[in-house]
Amino acid sequence: MLKTKTMATKKKDGLINPKREPLNPEKLRELSGLNLTDEQAEETIRSLEQFARILYDAVGRKEQENQRRKEE
């Protein structure tokens, strides 16, 4: 799994969400500039969270595969 972040990523995280609060409909509208209903925003947030989990799992599998190759 990814264990470290680059300095640029850390800095960017701090500027966008320094308190690491969960995304909510109000914040999504603020960041995206989209005029979404609460229901639309919540569905978008669920989709983003699901996409993030898919990416995280894919990267984790790739890391495991690379580690196995190194050990062979």
pLDDT per residue rounded down to tens, the chain (72 residues)? 444 555 555 555 557 788 888 999 999 999 999 999 999 999 999 999 999 999 999 999 999 999 999 888
Q: How far apart are the first and last CA of the chain?
A: 19
What pLDDT shows up at residue 1? 41
Residue 55 inside a domain? The answer is yes
- Count of structural domains within the chain: 1
What pLDDT shows up at residue 8? 56
Taking CB atoms within 8 Å and a gap of at least 24, the contacts of 17-23 are: 23/48
Return d(Cα 40, Cα 35) in angstroms, integer. 9
Residue 10 inside a domain? The answer is no
Domain region containing 53:
25-71
Residue 61 inside a domain? The answer is yes
Regarding pTM above 0.95, the answer is: no
Neighbours of 27 (CB within 10 A): 15
